[in-house]
Chains A and B, each alone.
Chain A
């Protein structure tokens, strides 16, 4: 098809309205990365023992669970859904490997089964949400209670601690010659996979489209329900995988492992710049968000601050990050409204 138009009518378009440094630097993600850098710097200078290899090791061992679960959660939340059942899935996965190891099954099989349970749990969430057209919030509050209930029901209040020595050491070991735990390799691989999936594939584009307008996404041929189901399955699978790590790291399988973890994950994801309404967010921001929460609590604990106070501080930070978007919009509208500063002359 050849469009012939008078030359003077054809327009030209820049790729971007703003120069590259504004696009890269003036984002919520960059704000959170800058904040993370500042907190690390201040903590290193003021908190004794913070800037040490051993602190780094423990910090990373601590946040590994959050980091892993935050990856699929980011995508789930970008579609405008939420998965509140991840903490319970960690607990259920912990119980599954505990019971299988107790029954004499090999660790590898136990871990695979746990991930299988995670996939199943995610599938149940996804199917209930899309088939019955229920809000993800309602469905996953339910499955949060259900999966936790099954976990506690299976193992009662007892704990399984008889895990093979080599597995528990592996979970706590560092990459030889560094203070960085081995589990970070698992995370790095998962991160790379999720970055590609979210930011460089058609599947990722569909994810954003669903969050911005489910109707328009449908008309564009995005398989809306399938995408959402896949994301819940990923969320369940990764939560179960994180549950395996969590159990081995502490060497203890309990039904009440990782209680309330879902709130920490969601807090970190929102802190990292993912919109609670869906449609916007990026993984570098989320990683910074998780690390910020980890660094803050680690530094404050080293400084002798009690955990109640730490919770209050992270809570305040979260509220600030949620409202900062609105504050920005408000500030812009104030700047754009010089005429309304002068009283009306009616």
Chain B
């Protein structure tokens, strides 16, 4: 059914994909009302909106995952009806979903070619071809992932890269990307953009969802804004500004993006001495003082999350020691870590941060069950009051406290995880990608809260792949490279170049820059 449109220009041709008057409700929750969208061949289209605006729902309707309640979907001017994701795939639509959907037990290669394995003679699955194609895809994306390992246990960023490889390998005419960069750091994002631009130049139609405006402006030609499930506007990128978009998205002005205030820096609260786990990280030594925000920067796979998990006691470590408030913390016990005042907002919210089948209220109060109970007995009223309080502070978009967390939008799920850990009122907060997938308004709110918490004496260790966030929020920046800390930069001495250098080259030799692109 694919007819190559070789010489038609985008202006005269029908849109590669067009949605009109699309509505969708989940029970009483209206996710989309009268949404619209036009994607053209040879163009990269941005879709932006607050958490819960309905972006992912729109994606899932295009993908054939959800049926729509009303509206039309046309491909090259012809109306189509997708009953399943297979239909959409056949029509030439590839989708990268916001949350990775991999089979944990299958190998990386098998995941990429799920359902369409190349067959050799006698109908046998051609493993060699599959493997070499997977390697070629990874080379194109500039990453190194073992194609034979199971996807179980991969970092969320690697999982996202596998999703990207999977979608690209479909060679589709329309490529939809729902927050593909949320888990990635600068280098991988650049690679992805190169690939996307290549596809655009080949005449594919691309859609890109992101909460990071610098990415939207760097990559896209057109931008559509959504608010509360409705269409707001579509403009060429060239004639619009960030302030413009934000106003349309949020309906109000948003303050400074990184408002880190000066805080009274006190004594070290978290001290990590010579922590090592063979093959994962080595000789990790650092401390975080009260009132201080320390960033842990580095490329994806540098071992940052692994260090955080070991400190919190979820993962083991071979040698070294962790002290909180001067007292040593036992290994391998999250419960003991929590009692000592540690909190960890993990990177993988769907697996580690949230219980998707449980209610918003129980997710928020899960980590403070002990405090909300008397002699082990729980009071539901108190549970709900606490949950309501924190949901309000973070503006979680949900109708009721007993909504299942799994049905919230991605960004709102992240808010619930944050609410849960802030509710523990910790003395040390380890926060892995605090604003991943969070919209502008809430992002500045999260930064403000972190800053306020630091002001109140909290010690914060923040893992972040977003350089502006790292540079704007932290008092000190630790950079990791291949499992080791390669730089410890004070706020004043830190620049994007120094951080990237230490993250990519190992030892940071201040002032000595290699490569032509790193000009200050």
Partners in one complex: yes
Question: Are A346 and B78 also in contact (CB < 8 A) when A3-B393, A17-B400, A200-B378 are?
Answer: yes
Chain B residues 25 to 65 lying within 8 A of chain A, measured CB to CB, are 27-28
Q: How distant is the Cα of A213 from the Cα of B351 in the complex, in angstroms?
A: 7
Alpha-carbon distance between A213 and B413 when the two chains are bound, in angstroms: 15
The 6 A-B pairs of least Cβ separation, nearest first, read A344-B81, A17-B400, A202-B369, A221-B335, A14-B400, A221-B338
> Which of A29-37, A92-100, A332-340 touches B?
A332-340
B334 (CB) vs chain A CBs: closest residue: A221
Q: Is the CB of B395 within 8 A of A10?
A: yes
The reply to whether A344 and B400 contact each other, CB–CB distance below 8 Å, is: no
Residues of B within 8 A of A279 (CB): 357
B81: chain A residues at CB < 8 Å are 339-340, 344-346
CB neighbours (8 Å) of A1 from chain B are 449, 452-453, 456
Q: Does B128 touch A at the CB level, under 8 Å? A: no
Question: Within residues 454 to 491 of chain B, which ones have a CB less than 8 A from any CB in chain A?
Answer: 456
**Contacting residue for B400 out of A3, A15, A202, A339, CB 8 A:** A15
Q: How large is the interface on A (under 10, 10 to 19, 20 to 34, 35 or more residues)?
A: 35 or more
Which residues in A have their C-beta under 8 angstroms from that of B373?
A: 201-202
| Of the residues A5, A203, A339, contact of B67 by C-beta under 8 Å | A339
A–B pairs, 13, beta carbons within 8 Å? A1-B453, A3-B449, A15-B402, A200-B377, A213-B355, A213-B356, A216-B355, A219-B353, A223-B335, A279-B357, A336-B67, A338-B67, A339-B68
A242 to B81, CA, bound (A): 59
B376 touches A201 (CB 8 A): yes
A200 to B79, CA, bound (A): 54
Residues on A with C-beta less than 8 A from B367 are 220-221
A13 to B383, CA, bound (A): 14
CB distance from B30 to the nearest CB of A (A): 14
Once the chains bind, are B384 and A15 in contact (CB under 8 Å)? yes
| A208, CB-defined interface residue at 8 Å | yes
Number of A-B contacts (CB under 8 A): 124
| Most chain A CB neighbours (cut-off 10 Å) among B366, B384, B453 | B366
Give Cα A267 to B199, complex, Å: 56
Q: Which of A214-248 contact B (CB under 8 A)?
A: 215-223
Establish whether residues B351 and A201, one from each chain, have CB atoms under 8 Å apart when the complex forms: no
Provide the bound-state CA to CA distance between A213 and B78, in Å: 44
Partner of A212, one of B79, B314, B355, B399: B355
Chain B contact residues, CB within 8 Å of chain A: 1, 27-28, 67-69, 78-81, 83, 252, 312, 314, 334-335, 337-338, 344, 346, 351-358, 361-362, 366-367, 369-370, 373, 376-378, 384, 388, 391-393, 395-403, 420, 449, 452-453, 456
CA distance A200 to B381 in the complex (A): 12
Which residues of B are found within 8 Å of A16, using beta-carbon distances? 400-402
B-chain residues with CB within 8 Å of residue A221 when the two chains form the complex: 334-335, 337-338, 367
B401 touches A340 (CB 8 A): no
A1 to chain B, nearest CB (A): 6
Please, how many angstroms separate the alpha-carbon atoms of A344 and B72 in the complex?
12
Let me know if B391 and A219 touch, CB within 8 A.
no
Give which listed residue, A9, A202, A212, A345, contacts B378 with CB less than 8 A.
A202
A90 at the interface (CB under 8 A from B): no
Contacts of B366 in A (CB 8 A): 205, 209, 220
Partner of B392, one of A11, A220, A338: A11
Distance A202 CA – B372 CA, assembled complex (angstroms): 9
> Which A residue sits closest to B82, measured CB to CB?
A344
Q: Is the CB of B369 within 8 A of A205?
A: yes
- Give the complex CA separation of A202 and B368 in angstroms: 9
Q: A208's closest neighbor in chain B, by CB?
A: B358
Whether A14 and B401, one on each chain, are in contact in the complex, defined by CB atoms closer than 8 angstroms, is: yes
Query: Contact between A212 and B83 (Cβ–Cβ < 8 Å)?
Result: no
A170 to B232, CA, bound (A): 77
What is the CB-to-nearest-CB distance from B28 to chain A, in angstroms, rounded to a whole number? 7
